[in-house]
Amino acid sequence: MKEFTIGVDLDGVVADYESKLREIAANIMGLDESEFPPATHWSLLESGWPFDDEVHFLEVHKEAVSSHGLFRRLSPIDGASEALWRMSDAGIRVRIITHRLVVNFAHSATVSDTVNWLDDKRIPYRDICFVKDKAEVGASLYVDDSPGNIGALRAAAGEHSVMTFDQLYNRHIPGLRAHNWDDILVKVARETGLEL
């Protein structure tokens, strides 16, 4: 069998970005966490988070990464580590594909905290790519939560090569969907013929 590669996004798929950002942003802004409602849109501004505008969000995000260790303090999504180990142990290449380099002058903290978090949370991978255009990075199956990424990946890689990892802000997207990591294992087992 040709090597099967699963291309996995981090935030919203392997790591619970929303909960920790809510906590840290509330602290930075001197607000109560209740003022940061669940993300029902990809844009946290559209979801009702109390940022003045996109620039303000990026400033808070940068401070959260650089001064508060956002990317080393995230909780893992339930089942992610176990499922990825089962795939890795079966010979599947786990490729982390993330676009975390979104603000200038926070790259060092972003990359080092990401790698340290992956080790600390026992997330296996053979490759890690920090890239905006995820279709440039090959994978047999992509798993992502971002509506924009899912659309671009499906246009480039095909409808059946991209799984939407279920979140409130992507429920409008039709097609292949994972509600949890067990759903991903079922899809990969079906594609590869492996017992996972």
pLDDT score recorded for residue 2: 76
Reply yes or no on whether 16 is catalytic. no
Report the distance separating Cα 122 and Cα 97, nearest Å: 17
Catalytic, out of 11, 113, 144, 183: 11
pTM above 0.85, yes or no: yes
- Beta-strand pair 93-98/75-76: unpaired
Report the distance separating Cα 143 and Cα 138, nearest Å: 12
Query: 184 CB contacts (<8 Å, ≥6 apart)?
Result: 6, 83, 143, 163, 165, 178
Q: What is the CATH number of domain 5-16+75-192?
A: 3.40.50.1000
Q: What is the DSSP annotation of 80-113?
A: HHHHHHHHHHTTPEEEEEE----STT-HHHHHHH
Reply yes or no on whether 166 is catalytic. no
Closest CA to 99 of 152, 168, 53, 161: 152
pLDDT score recorded for residue 104: 81
The model's pLDDT over 30-66, given as tens digits with 9 standing for 90+, comes to: 999 999 999 999 999 999 999 999 999 999 999 999 9
Query: 176 CB contacts (<8 Å, ≥6 apart)?
Result: 159, 160, 162, 163, 164, 187
Closest CA to 178 of 40, 47, 16, 14: 14
Catalytic, out of 9, 113, 144, 183: 9
Report the SS3 class of residue 157. helix
Q: Which residue has the tokens 């790698």?
A: 115
pLDDT score recorded for residue 160: 87
Report the distance separating Cα 195 and Cα 130, nearest Å: 30
Cross-strand pairs, 177: 164
- The first and second tokens of residue 91, run together, are 């010979």
| Angle of the 181-192 helix axis to the 80-89 helix axis, nearest 10 | 20
Question: Residues 24, 71: contact at Cβ < 8 Å?
Answer: no
| Segments of the chain with pLDDT less than 70 | 1
